[in-house]
Amino acid sequence: MPSRYQPPYTLTSEIVSLVADIAEQVGRLSATHEFNMDLRLRRINRIRTITGSLAIEGNTLTEEQITAILEGKTVLAPPRELQEARNALAVYEQLPQWNGHNERHLLAAHKQLMYGLLDRPGVYRAGGVGVMAGKKVLHMAPPAGRVPLLMSRLFNWLRSSKEHPLIASSVFHYEFEFIHPFADGNGRMGRLWQTLLLSRWQPAFAWLPVESLVHRQQAAYYRAINASTAAADCAPFIRFMLGCIHDAVTKAGPKTTVETTVETPVKKVAKTPQRILTLLRQQPELTLAEVAQAIGRSPRAVERAAVKLQQENKLRYHGPKRGGHWEVV
Question: How far apart are the C-alpha atoms of 204 and 226, rounded to whole Å?
Answer: 30
Domain map (residue ranges) of the chain: 13-253, 264-328
- What is the Cα gyration radius of the chain? 21
Q: Per CATH, which fold does 13-253 belong to?
A: Fic-like fold (1.10.3290)
Quick one: average pLDDT of 293-305? Answer: 78
- CATH number given to 264-328: 1.10.10.10
Question: How far apart are the C-alpha atoms of 214 and 220, rounded to whole Å?
Answer: 8
Closest to 81 measured CA to CA, from 117, 49, 109, 111: 117
Q: Calculate the alpha carbon distances from 187 to 18, 58, 255 in Å.
A: 24, 11, 28
Decide which of 144 and 269 is more confident. 144
Per-residue pLDDT tens digits for 16-34: 999 999 998 888 777 655 4
Decide which of 276 and 79 is more confident. 79
Per-residue pLDDT tens digits for 70-89: 999 999 999 999 999 999 99
Helices (runs of H) and strands (runs of E) counted in the chain: 15, 4
pLDDT at 246 > cutoff 70 = yes
pLDDT at 1 > cutoff 50 = no
Quick one: average pLDDT of 310-321? Answer: 82
